[in-house]
Every structure is written in structure tokens, then in C-alpha cells.
Amino acid sequence: MTYCVAMRLESGMVFLADSRTNAGVDHIATFRKMFTFVQPGQRAIVLMSAGNLATTQSVISLLRTRANSDLPNLMNCASLYDAAELVGRTVREVVTRDAGQEQTGVDFGCTFILGGQIQGEEMRLFHIYSEGNFIESTQDTPYFQIGELKYGKPIIDRVISFQSSVDQAIKCSLISMDSTIRSNLSVGLPLDLLSYERDAFNAGSRYDIDENHPGYKALREGWSQGLKGTFETLPEIVW
């Protein structure tokens, strides 16, 4: 499985992906799930994937190859909406090709989070489904998750709003990821973190985080101790 989360805030965006892929417990491997398409000063697009690895790799390969062609692609599309539509179309193309006519019981599906900014537009964030259709984030719902999303959802619901800072969003994403990793073996380190400042039109700041990363370690320990402290000082329940 996978866990990816992205937030679109007033002042910027944050993307976080784990890197564990599994087909049963016998086939656990590390594959990066975050991909960027950047033209400095013009566009910054980030894609994160979950689901069938063969499908998502094919989709990314086709998107990359075509980015150097004259076909409509992620480096020449006029808007993030067009980019989402293009990714959705590519998902349908690959699933149709691979799933074919056979009912093998294999799930060829996948989901993507697509976000970023193109000159002339505000930052935008999309959640693209297996069927190729998609929804867009709004101020009311400033984040999307794909993969093993439930474990890490409560903390986001509690602390993140459109007005949160990029710094807060980074911390919250990492805590959400840490909770997921502790409770679900199919999500694992290292992590890919990317933060993007509004109107920067660059590749943002990208961090590769493994278990020895001092900042991540301090954050996890601070959170864990804070939670335990909070738990121990809760009021006695009055029945």
C-alpha cells in the first residue's frame, strides 16, 4: 500500500509520500511515488501515486516521454485543470490497455494527487481517481490523501485549515505519516517531502527523510511525548 497527503494552503503547498510498495508480504520494495514537472518561472507540477504499481509507473513513463513531444503534455498545458484531465486520460489509456478484456481479478486501478501552479493561475490541487475523473481542493477542504489514509486523517482534521502555515502543514503531514507507519506495516520510510511557496514557480524545497533524519526524529519524539503527557494529565471522568 501507500500513504500520500497534499495540502493547499493560503501561503503554499505541501506534498508528502512514503515509499513502500507491496504485493503481499513477500514482495515489499521501495519505490518513490512523488514526481515533479518543473519549468522555472513558468510552472511547478507535483504528482503522487497510489495503487497498482505497474499502472502508475506506466502512467508516469508516458507522461514523462510525452513531456518532450509536441503532444499535449504536462510541460505545455495551459492550466492545472488541463494537467489533471491529461493525467486522467493517461490513467484510462493504461488501464484499458493492461486490463484488456480479461477478468483476472487483478485490480489495475490507481489514484493520483496532482498539485502545483502554472503562470496565470493560483495554486491548485486535484485528486484523480482510477476512472480518470477528478475533484479539486477548495478552501473548505484544503487537503487530499491517497492510499492508507484513515490512520493519519484525525490529526489533519483537528489542526489544519486553509489558513495554516506551510510550516504547520509540514509538521502535521509528518505526524500523520508517523501515525500511519506505526499502525500499518504497508506504509514505510524513506519519505519524500516537498514544500512549495505560493508564486515561486520553482521546484520547491525537497527533503528525503529516513529514520535517522534528526529533524523527523525530534518531531516524532516531541509528538509522542506530548501525546503521552496530554493523555496522563486528562481530567478524571465525572460519571
Q: Single out the segment in contact with a copy of itself by CB under 8 A; choices: 52-60, 66-74, 92-100, 215-223.
A: 215-223
Neighbours of 141 (CB within 10 A): 13
Q: What residues numbered 35-74 form the site for a copy of itself, per CB under 8 A?
A: none
Q: Is 25 in the site for a copy of itself (CB under 8 A)?
A: no
Q: Single out the segment in contact with a copy of itself by CB under 8 A; choices: 5-13, 25-33, 121-129, 155-163.
A: 155-163
Q: Which of 1, 54, 159, 200 binds a copy of itself (CB under 8 A)?
A: 159
Q: Is 230 in the site for a copy of itself (CB under 8 A)?
A: yes
Residue pair 53/46 in contact by the 8 Å Cβ criterion: no
Q: Is 62 exposed, middle or buried (0-12, 13-18, 19+ CB in 10 A)?
A: middle
Nearer to a copy of itself, 51 or 152 (CB): 152
CA–CA separation, 123 vs 120, rounded Å? 10
Q: Single out the segment in contact with a copy of itself by CB under 8 A; choices: 30-38, 70-78, 122-130, 149-157.
A: 149-157
Residue pair 74/45 in contact by the 8 Å Cβ criterion: yes
CA 3 vs CA 58, 83, 150, 188: distances in Å: 20, 22, 10, 9
Q: Single out the segment in contact with a copy of itself by CB under 8 A; choices: 52-60, 66-74, 123-131, 164-172.
A: 164-172
Q: Which of 81, 153, 198, 203 binds a copy of itself (CB under 8 A)?
A: 153
CA–CA separation, 48 vs 17, rounded Å? 7
